Amino acid sequence: MPLINVQLFEGRTLEQKRAYAKALTDASVEVLGCSPEAVDVIFHDVKKSDWASGGKLWSDPE
């Protein structure tokens, strides 16, 4: 059973998450040959102040 953990900046709508969960599930079914019911997707909303790239917080001004 695939378990997909997705980390995104907070602020995505429920509609966006639904569509993304569906796309990830469909891709898993096609590539892995599993049933849709076997695919779990967990969304983790992350504040920009809790995410850094290249040593810089995403919440820092440019």
Active site residue 2: yes
Residue type, 62: E
Catalytic residue among 1, 2, 5, 15: 2
The distance between the two most distant Cα atoms of the chain, rounded to a whole number of Å, is 45
Give the catalytic positions in this structure.
2
